[in-house]
C-alpha cells in the first residue's frame, strides 16, 4: 500500500517491530500476542470481528497491513485458521515469522501479488487511514476476495469537524459517514458496524503485558532518537483519541 511513511513512521512500523520482537521473545510466550498487537487491537474487538466474519478453520483468511502479526496470531490460536499476513514492512514480516511462524507476503496492498478470488475473508486493522489511496486499496481487496467474500475493517475516524485531526503526517482521517460511503462505493455491502469504544477494555493481564513490553523497550532504546520520534508519534495519536478528535470504528460486510 502506498503509505505516508516518513522516517518517523518507518521507525515506528519497521525498526520498532524488530525491537519489540526481541523484547517479547525474551519475556516469554504470554507476551507475544499482546506485544505484537500493541496499539492496534484488543481481544474484544478481535472477537467481534472474527465472529462477524464467521471465521472457521477452513476459512482462507488474510490480514492486510498486519504489522507484526499479533491479530493474525490471535485469530489463528482461537479459531484454528491459517492466516496469510500481508505487510509492506520487511522487518515486521520477519517478526511475524519469528514469533508466530505465520505465512507472510511482503507487499503493498494496492498491488497485491495474489490471484483473483484467493481469500474468503480479509481484515484491515488501522490501515485505511494510513494509505494515500484507500479507494484503490479497497478495490484490490475486493479483487482478491471470492464473490460474497467477507471484509472487516477497523479504522480511526474523525469526529465531526474537530480541529486537530489533520495533525499527523502519517494519517488522513475520514468521518464515519465518509468511511461507510467509501466501503459501499468499493462494492461491499455493510452488514454491521461497531463503536469500538463501547466494547470491553482489554483484560488487565493483557494491559500489564503490554506495559511490561513498553517498559523494557524504553529501558533499552529510550536514548535512541528513532525511539523518541516514534514515541512522540504514538503520544500524538493517543492525544487525539483522548481528546475525542478521532475514535476507533469497525465495520464488516460482504463483497457484492
pLDDT in tens, 108-129: 888 899 999 999 999 999 999 8
How confident is the model over 77-86, as pLDDT tens digits?
A: 999 999 999 9
CB 155 within 8 A of CB 174: yes
- What pLDDT is stored for residue 1 in this prediction? 43
Q: To the nearest whole percent, how much of the chain has pLDDT over 90?
A: 71
Q: What is the pLDDT of residues 207-219, one digit of tens each?
A: 999 999 999 999 9
| Beta bridge pairs of residue 3 | 131
Instruction: Give pTM, 2 decimals.
Output: 0.91
Is residue 92 scored above 50 in pLDDT?
A: yes
DSSP secondary structure letter of residue 175:
B
Confidence of residue 165 (pLDDT cuts 50, 70, 90): low
Q: Is 53 helix (H, G, I), strand (E, B) or coil?
A: coil
| Residue 9 binned pLDDT confidence (cut-offs 50, 70, 90) | low
User: Cell digits for 141?
Assistant: 481487496
Q: Return the number of other C-beta atoms located less than 10 Å from residue 87's C-beta.
A: 31
pLDDT at residue 161 in the model: 63
Arithmetic mean of pLDDT over the chain: 90
b (16+ CB within 10 A) / e for 158-171: bbeeeeebeebebb
Using a 10 angstrom Cβ sphere, with 0-12 exposed, 13-18 middle and 19 or more buried, the burial of residue 131 is: buried
C-alpha cell at 176: 464515519
When pLDDT is cut at 50, 70 and 90, the band that residue 59 belongs to is: very high
pLDDT of 250 higher than 90 = yes
- Determine the pLDDT at residue 230: 83
Residue 117: how many CA atoms within 13 Å on its side-chain side? 4
Cα angle 202-82-139, degrees, rounded to a multiple of 5: 85
Query: For residue 129, what is its C-alpha cell?
Result: 487511514
Amino acid at each position: 500500500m502506498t503509505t505516508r511513511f516518513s522516517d518517523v513512521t518507518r521507525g515506528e512500523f519497521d525498526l520498532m517491530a524488530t525491537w519489540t520482537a526481541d523484547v517479547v521473545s525474551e519475556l516469554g510466550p504470554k507476551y507475544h500476542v499482546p506485544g505484537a498487537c500493541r496499539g492496534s487491537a484488543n481481544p474484544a474487538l478481535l472477537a467481534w470481528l472474527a465472529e462477524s466474519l464467521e471465521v472457521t478453520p477452513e476459512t482462507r483468511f488474510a490480514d492486510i497491513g498486519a504489522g507484526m502479526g499479533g491479530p493474525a496470531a490471535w485469530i489463528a490460536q482461537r479459531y484454528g485458521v491459517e492466516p496469510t499476513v500481508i505487510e509492506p514492512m520487511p522487518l515486521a514480516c520477519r517478526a511475524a515469522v519469528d514469533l508466530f511462524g505465520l505465512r507472510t507476503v511482503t507487499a503493498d496492498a494496492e498491488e497485491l501479488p495474489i490471484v483473483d478470488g484467493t481469500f474468503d475473508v480479509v481484515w484491515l486493522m488501522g490501515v485505511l487511514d494510513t494509505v494515500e489511496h484507500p479507494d484503490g486499496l479497497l478495490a484490490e481487496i475486493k479483487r482478491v476476495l471470492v464473490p460474497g467474500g467477507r471484509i472487516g475493517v477497523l479504522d480511526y475516524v474523525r469526529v465531526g469537524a474537530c480541529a486537530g485531526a489533520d495533525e499527523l503526517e502519517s494519517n488522513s482521517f475520514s468521518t464515519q459517514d465518509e468511511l461507510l460511503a467509501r466501503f459501499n462505493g468499493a462494492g461491499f455491502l455493510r452488514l454491521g458496524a461497531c463503536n469500538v469504544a463501547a466494547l470491553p477494555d482489554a483484560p488487565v493481564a493483557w494491559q500489564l503485558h503490554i506495559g511490561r513490553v513498553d517498559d523494557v523497550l524504553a529501558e533499552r532504546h529510550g536514548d535512541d532518537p528513532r525511539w523518541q520520534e516514534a514515541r512522540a508519534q504514538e503520544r500524538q495519536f493517543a492525544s487525539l483519541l483522548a481528546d475525542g478528535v478521532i475514535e476507533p470504528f469497525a465495520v464488516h460486510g460482504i463483497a457484492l
